[in-house]
Structure 1
Amino acid sequence: MSAEPRILFLRGVNVGANRKLPMADLRVLLAGLGLTGVATHIQSGNAVFCDPQARPGLAAAISDAIGAAFPFRPEALVLDLPRLEGVLAANPFATVEDPSRVQIGFLAAEGAADTDRLDALTAPGEGWHLTEAALYLHLPWGTGRSKLAAGAEKAVRTPMTMRNRRVAEAVAALAREMTC
């Protein structure tokens, strides 16, 4: 078995009528791929599991399996627990009182970010910080009206999936409870 739990973040599931993926179905699908101890957190494509085969290319295999079973193929990001904990530890907005006002964009790959574009999108009171693994956004008024949140992925020039700090921390806690 692998030494560490694995974390799955799916991008863009359960956000519209055409991208519904019940978490019970996701758990069954992941177990069907040979993953064990599968658990999900809320209804937005967050899962933790063990991968006894420690296979490369697991994210693409998960995306393909979902695409074969549902009328859409979401991008999947698979992390190990140390990477998730590293992203959380590097969060410059960790002390913001309301964790739902901090978004973490988990990067699929290191991008060649247009930092001037990020600055131009940033409204007074908002903030951003970019590392090789994540884009951190402080959005005191939420994501709904934020130009920074809306344009962040285009500016970082690599696919990413966003989670608020509260969700990311809850998924990490769920993964810490697993024994692989």
Structure 2
Amino acid sequence: MSKAKTAYILLFRGVGGATQLPTASLREALSEAGFENVATYINSGNAVLRSGLAREKVIASVAKICEARFGFTKAIHAPTLAVWEALIAKNPFPAFKEGKHLHAAVLAGDPTQEAIDRLRGHADVGEAIEVVSRVAYLHTPNGFGRSKLGEKFDKWIGVENTARNWNTVLKLSELATKAAG
């Protein structure tokens, strides 16, 4: 009996600017390594795939490929499709689903309440942050780039993270659903 296969969403931290991870080459490298139904989304560190490996082994294998082929050594998060669907369902800002003004940051650990409160205190009028199940949801009605909350989030949250806007969150869900086959 063959092992069940899981769809994973790969979130590469810190892609953009000087750090590039070419999407076509990444798809090719992951497919050559035996991952199935590989797809990438925009050139900012997003991919999906299907594998029979456990999550930790997927991350280790992808990290090894990325270092060897692309010199990429930053963190990789790999939530399953089921975890990603829960992330979408638990959105504490259901009225704010407009793509670039709502972000979900996958957290590697639990931030302190003090860190969350400090960010809330720094937020501009109308901005908000809620942390649910190791995901920080940020509502930035004037855009993340102009947000006071966004400007301090990475430094003050206190745990490694990688954030995606809601448009990307939904697109990755769609691609992972296809990858699950």
| Counterpart residue identity of residue 103, structure 1 | H
- 1:57 aligned counterpart, secondary structure: helix
Query: Does 1:11 find its partner at 2:13?
Result: yes
- 2:10 aligned counterpart, secondary structure: strand
CA distance in 1: counterparts of 2:127 and 2:56, whole angstroms? 37
- 1:5 aligned counterpart, secondary structure: strand
| Counterpart residue identity of residue 170, structure 1 | K
Query: Does 1:2 find its partner at 2:25?
Result: no
* Contact 1:127 1:137 survives alignment (8 Å): yes
Map of 2:61 onto structure 1? 61
Summarize the alignment of residues 142-157 of structure 1 with structure 2, pairs less than 5 Å apart: 142-157=143-158
Map of 1:139 onto structure 2? 140
Map of 2:123 onto structure 1? 122
Map of 1:165 onto structure 2? 166
Map of 1:83 onto structure 2? 83
- The answer for unaligned runs of 5 or more in structure 2 is none
| Counterpart residue identity of residue 156, structure 2 | A
Corresponding residue pairs, total? 178
Report the TM-score, using the length of structure 1 for normalisation: 0.89
Change (3 A) 1:111 1:2: farther
Change (3 A) 1:34 1:3: closer
* Contact 1:41 1:47 survives alignment (8 Å): yes
Map of 1:109 onto structure 2? 109
Matched-pair identity in %: 32
Question: Which stretch shifts more, 170-179 or 50-59?
Answer: 50-59
CA distance in 2: counterparts of 1:115 and 1:42, whole angstroms? 30
| Counterpart residue identity of residue 92, structure 2 | P
CA deviations 1:12-65 (Å, max 9, x no partner) are: 11x11x311110111122123321110111221111111133353322332232
| Counterpart residue identity of residue 71, structure 1 | G
Report the TM-score, using the length of structure 2 for normalisation: 0.88
Quote the offset at 1:179 in angstroms: 3.6
CA deviations 1:113-170 (Å, max 9, x no partner) are: 5122112221111011012220000001111122211221333221111100111011
| Counterpart residue identity of residue 80, structure 1 | T
- The answer for unaligned runs of 5 or more in structure 1 is none
Question: Which stretch shifts more, 4-13 or 109-118?
Answer: 109-118
